[in-house]
Structure formats: structure tokens, C-alpha cells
Structure 1
Amino acid sequence: MTTRPDVHILDQRTPEERARSFLPGMGRTWLLPLYDVFTRAAGVGALHARAAELADVRPGQSALDVGCGTGNLALAVLARQPAARVTGLDPDGDALRRAARKARRRGVSLTLDQGYADRLPAEDASLDHVLSSLALHHLDDDGRTDFAREALRVLRPGGRITIVDLGGGSHDHTGGRASGHSGLHGLMSRVVPARAVAHNHGSAVPELLLGAGFSDAREVAHVDHRFGRVTFVQATRA
């Protein structure tokens, strides 16, 4: 007898959090139906597969995907390790419902939680992994700092954070590959303007994690993607 996958959506937001605004994954709420189409066309799936490989979640380990959107990174982790216990967190309820439908179609168990990166839905020292893909640039300065501190709080000693985002060594998120507003690059420029990734330049992400108390924070890989340099950063809770 086949076990039915356990896919459910939680909403533990406070009344204050329910009133908060957020930046949707495509920059505009009405663009959500195009999100997965856009990410497939842009080759983002390869970035998620690489992040899952670098995170190296093991059987039975727990992982939280922060800013999970429609669940693509969480599903990449489960594709690589079906025995992992994965939760996706995002403030966008419509995106979470899309993620739930995708998980059910793939026959994998996934918990989805509607909430924010500055209050992670986990007890102290309870997780093995925290991951985030193309979400850090959505946060302002205070939000980035709060997220890093929250990630440290919820990770067990030896737990690892893996962040994938635009930025790193290059100061041009277009990668110098295109100009103007045509095609994928044009859409990307509207969804993620250069100012949104300004705080990811250089060693800013490793420094953010070191400042929160992580150890061994460093860029472990990067890809010169069609919409710019994408950096993979990892750090460990001592």
C-alpha cells in the first residue's frame, strides 16, 4: 500500500505579521502565475540543484527553506534526499499553495509555513540545515540581520546554512551580458533592480553571517548566470 505524502500548510503568524507587506517573488502579486515559467526559462532549476548538492542534507535530517516561494529549492532537496524532513517558509500564501500542489504531484512530504524570515518557525537548536535561494535580496538591512540571527538560533551545533543569491564578487547583477529591458534580462531587471542586490556585493553575505555568530562563513561556489553572478555561501554554527 502506497503511503500518501504528507503535505500541509501552517499559518502561525501573529496579528501584526498578518498586516505586514512583503515583496512577492516576481515583484508583483499578479505575476505569480508566471513565476515557475520564468524560473524554468531562466535556468534557475540548475541553481537549486547545485544548492541542494552543496547543502548535502542526509536521511532524516531537518531542513528549512527560507523564502521558499513556490517550493523549488525545497523540492530539489527532496529530489536529492527523499528521506529528509523539509519545511518551506514564505509570507506569500498563494505561492505556498502552488508549492503544496507541486509536492503532491511529485508524491513527496513537505511542510509549508506562512511567515517571515525574522521569526523562523523552529525551536532553538532544532534544525540541521537552513537554506535560502534568491530571497536574501528581498530583505532590508534589519531584515537581513534578523534572519541571520534567527538562522543561528534554530540550527543545532554543527548545523549549516546555505544561501544562494545574486551578488558576490561582481558589482553588476546583469553579468555584463545584456543591456536595456528585453527578454529574460529585461524582466529580471524589473523584478530585481540593481539596488536590491547592492548589499550582496563582495563579501557582504559571509560578513553578515560572521556578524551573527556563524563560523567558517565563505563563498563556496559561484555561477555567472544569464542574469548575473550568483553566489553560493555557506557557514556553520559552532
Structure 2
Amino acid sequence: MNDRTTVRILDHRTAEERDREFLPGMGRPWLLPFYDVFSRLAGVRALHDRAAALADVAPGESVLDVGCGTASLSLAVLRAQPDARVTGLDPDPAALRTAARKAARRRVPLTLVQGFADRLPTGDGSLDRIVSSLALHHVPDDGRVAFGREAFRALRPGGTVTIVDFGSSDVADGSAPGHEGGHGGVRGHGRLRGHGGPRGHGRGRSSVATNAHTARNLEGGLVRLLADAGFADAREVDHLEHRFGPITFVQATRP
């Protein structure tokens, strides 16, 4: 059984990474206190619970939440599987402090790491699951590619990565590579960068398509990202239409 009082924050950044820019959860640091309120009103908890269910974590398994922010997905994983060993990774120290307070109030064990998605704080083949929620669309193209490679490196054979984000599997012919029916710098690269609106999302599919951050996830963008990194069976496993735009749930297995 885990020590149910252990919450700690570690710093995984190199000296060079301390000046890297990143995008805070609601675009500007002063909006962070409203992030969880906004998420609650927007019904984001249901997305976290669905992602945790799809990850299907077993007792004792190690889980890394990439772009954890205030740890809402990490806590959803621990609700679904209290005996998981969960680590959250994010470049935003203020978000990590909020995450630590939330975990301490709930008396759940959680390790939090300040760092970036393109250099995961774990050894080769050391993770059972990687999860991420509404974060990867903020990662620059080179960081996204590096995240795919890092996820492949860090997972054990048979381990899975589960991502929920704005996006879709739709392509011109109505399918996506690897679709089987079914439906960091994280958030950028060290000093804060602005981003209009709550996490920069407009309303509806058209806003997602015209937003440079989220448009990369359309037409199977996340599926291709994982497939190109070497994952087997990369596919969209669920999707829904949220009021802020299409949401895709993508999963893949380390062969």
C-alpha cells in the first residue's frame, strides 16, 4: 500500500532549460487560480475520468502524466486506481504547487516534477502507462516529435500511452491511419508566453481548425505522431464534440 501522505515536487530541468518558455494553463500566469474553476464549469473532469478509464491502470503500475498542470488527470488516475504510482510532469512551478496542495488535501501519494515533455524524467522501459490531457497541442512541432520518441523509450514493452486532446481522426476519406472504429516542454518551451483565452481555445470545430496549436491534432495528427514514433496500433479509441471543439482520445501500445 502506498504512503498516502507523500507529496513531493522535484526539479528535472537542466541549467539550459531554466530559461525555456512555456505556456501556462490559461495563457497567463495570473489566471492560474481560476483554472480549476474554469475546468469544472467546462466539464473537463469527465474527460479526465474517461482518459483514466481508458488507461486501465493496474495496482502498483507506474504512471507518468505529461503536462499535468494542476494534476486533475493524475488525481483521476488515483481515483480509478488508488494503488497506482503516479508522477506528474509540467514546466509551470505555480501549477505544480497547486497540484501538490490538491493531492495533500486528498491525502493521496503523488510525485510532481518540473520539466518538459521532450525529456521525460525516467529510465528506459521504466513506465507502465503514460497519460496526457489537453497539453500536447501546446508543444512545438520538434517537441511533439521528441515526446513521441521519449514516450516510446520510457514505456516497457506492452505499456500504453493514452492522450486526450483537441483533435480528430477525420481525414478526407473519413478514416485515419490506425483508426479501428471506436471513436515537457509541455505547453510550450521555460519563460511564460501569452495565449489568448483559456488555454487559447475558441468555440467549436472551426476554432480548433484555425488555431495553429490545435489544428495539428486534426485529421489524425496525434495518431500519426505516435505511429511515427514506433508505437503499435496507434488509434483513436473515443471521441466527442465538446463546446470548445472536437475532443479525441488516442491510445497506442509499446511493442
TM-score normalised according to structure 2 size:
0.84
2:237 corresponds in structure 1 to: 220
Post-superposition offset of 1:189: 7.8
Structure 2 distance, partners of 1:236, 1:63, is 14
Structure 2 distance, partners of 1:120, 1:209, is 16
Letter of the structure 1 residue corresponding to residue 14 of structure 2: T
Alignment partner of 1:208 out of 205, 213, 225: 225
- Once the two structures are superposed, residues 134-167 of structure 1 have per-residue CA deviations (whole angstroms, 9 ceiling, x without a partner) of 0011111101000010000000000000011001
1:167 corresponds in structure 2 to: 167
1:50 corresponds in structure 2 to: 50
Q: Cα–Cα, structure 1 residues 52 and 146, in superposed 2: closer, same or farther, change >3 Å?
A: same
Alignment of 1:103-118 (within 5 A): 103-118=103-118
Cα contact 2:152–2:254 (8 A) shared by 1: yes
Post-superposition offset of 1:190: 4.0
Please provide the CA RMSD for this pair. Answer: 1.8
Letter of the structure 2 residue corresponding to residue 157 of structure 1: P
Post-superposition offset of 1:198: 1.1
2:252 is the counterpart of 1:235: yes
Post-superposition offset of 1:69: 0.1
Letter of the structure 1 residue corresponding to residue 94 of structure 2: D
Letter of the structure 1 residue corresponding to residue 217 of structure 2: N
2:32 corresponds in structure 1 to: 32
Cα contact 2:223–2:250 (8 A) shared by 1: yes
Q: Cα–Cα, structure 1 residues 187 and 13, in superposed 2: closer, same or farther, change >3 Å?
A: closer
What number of residue pairs does the alignment pair up? 223
- Once the two structures are superposed, residues 82-129 of structure 1 have per-residue CA deviations (whole angstroms, 9 ceiling, x without a partner) of 000000000000000000000011110000000000000000000000
- Which runs of 5 or more residues in structure 1 are unaligned? 172-185
Q: Cα–Cα, structure 1 residues 4 and 158, in superposed 2: closer, same or farther, change >3 Å?
A: closer
1:81 corresponds in structure 2 to: 81
Question: What percent identity do the matched residue pairs reach?
Answer: 64
